[in-house]
Amino acid sequence: MRFIDFCSGIGGFRVGMEKAGHICVGHCEIDKFANESYIAMHEPREDEWYADDIRDVKPEELPAADCYCGGFPCQAFSIAGKRGGFSDTRGTIFFEIARLIQARKPKIVFFENVKGLLNHDNGNTFETILRTLGELGYWYEYQVLNSKDFGVPQNRERVFIIGHLGEGSGQQVFPIRRSNPKTLKQVIAGRDAERVYDCNGLARTLKAEGGGQGAKTGLYLFNGTKEGNTYCLDANYAKGDYRPHKAKRSVVAVLTPDRHEKRQNGRRIKEPDEPMFTLTAQDRHGVLIKEATKKGYDIAYEGDSINLAVPGSNTRRGRVGKGIANTLDTSCNQGILVNYRIRRLTPRECFRLQGFSDAYFDKAAKVNSDSQLYKQAGNSVTVNVINEIGKRLN
């Protein structure tokens, strides 16, 4: 099929659809930095249609296409935002796409958005979208899919909507049933500090706000002393200064961390110069990460991912991912515990979490800064999910 890539970002829809055998005939993207990455990554043909602002697009300008794709802005519906919905100007972009659909009547429409769209305004927002599709002559289907079930280590739930023009037309796409029973695979056994995990384990979800801020607050190094002193790689890190700087305590290294309040068999937190306890089968080495839960913390082990956003927050929970990344946002403010150091995910790793190859990333990195690359990764759709749906479209 010929398709148009609306609200294209860096082209997650395009890569997934092209891998499924479809042909892109144009794209629309208002963010100039995202569009620079798009052009570098995909090298559009000279005759491909392009527009920056969908609100200025006239239906007659559009090339002939069988499918309109669009990940219309999700910030207006995300639980991470103010959830302004259709009162937010970003939320009205859906109606701009609907305006073009009404005039040109593509055979298929294919949308992606945050899971929060389903319950925004008690479900009225989602009902409005479906009713609009029905009024335009499309029968529709939808499903919430998680990126972690499609070969990438990211816990990213999104709702996907397919509209088919004309009653009884088109092949049903949903439900797509996928499973990922082993989210974390251990390839070398041993004590926690010695275990090695398969790189195909899962990571936390990437989100999409506040690009680039994580370099100031997101990197920590602890020395494992009784006081749990913490060092922060602060804003100087972004300038190439990798020396640790003292910061407020955020993580604590202890022996058997979930029993740090107990004194079983004389167990206690030893001073740095004291000899180690004899290890038992119950002993585990971890890092305590502050969370807004009844327990007050979670334990990160080697290879786990850690949400580094707003480290002093009294409301954040679910910071630790057991071998899986949380949803990426535009700051991509997540880290991973390696050799008891918490380091931030790199822009390249964030692109990988969305299913882009290193070759695509290298092209984007030549035209954009790290802060823009983080933002673009967090705003993208996951290529693998789009590809799986694209295979079922006809």
Amino acid 390: pLDDT:
97
- Residues 335-352 have a mean pLDDT of 88
Q: Concatenated DSSP letters for 156-191? A: -EEEEEEEEESTT-S----------S-SS-EEE-SS
Of residues 372 and 332, more confidently modeled: 372
Using an 8 Å Cβ cutoff, are 35 and 13 in contact?
Answer: no
- Residues 49-55 have a mean pLDDT of 96
CA of residue 323 relative to chain centroid, distance: 15
Both structure tokens of 226: 């009784």
Mind listing the pLDDT tens digit for each residue in 136-194?
A: 999 999 999 999 999 998 999 999 999 999 987 778 999 998 655 445 455 555 554 44
State the chain's mean pLDDT as an integer. 77
Q: Is the pLDDT of residue 318 over 90?
A: no
Question: Percent of the chain at pLDDT above 90?
Answer: 45
2-179+383-390: which CATH topology? Rossmann fold (3.40.50)
Q: How many angstroms separate the first and last alpha carbons of the chain?
A: 7
Amino acid 291: pLDDT:
86
Q: Is the pLDDT of residue 48 over 60?
A: yes
In angstroms, rounded to a whole number, what is the distance separating the alpha carbons of residues 308 and 294?
Answer: 20
Least confident of 59-68, 169-178, 204-213, 313-322: 204-213
Which residue of the set 67, 69, 74, 350 is catalytic? 74
Amino acid at 172: Q
Question: Percent of the chain at pLDDT above 70?
Answer: 68
Active site residue 67: no
Amino acid 222: pLDDT:
33
pTM above 0.75, yes or no: no
In angstroms, rounded to a whole number, what is the distance separating the alpha carbons of residues 155 and 368?
Answer: 26
Mind listing the pLDDT tens digit for each residue in 79-101?
A: 454 544 344 444 578 889 999 99
Cα–Cα distances in angstroms (integers) from residue 81 to residues 153, 188, 316, 332, in the given order: 24, 41, 14, 16
Every domain of the chain and the residues it spans: 2-179+383-390, 204-272+280-344
The residues, any chain, with a CB within 8 Å of residue 192's CB and separated by 6 or more, are 284, 285, 286, 301, 302
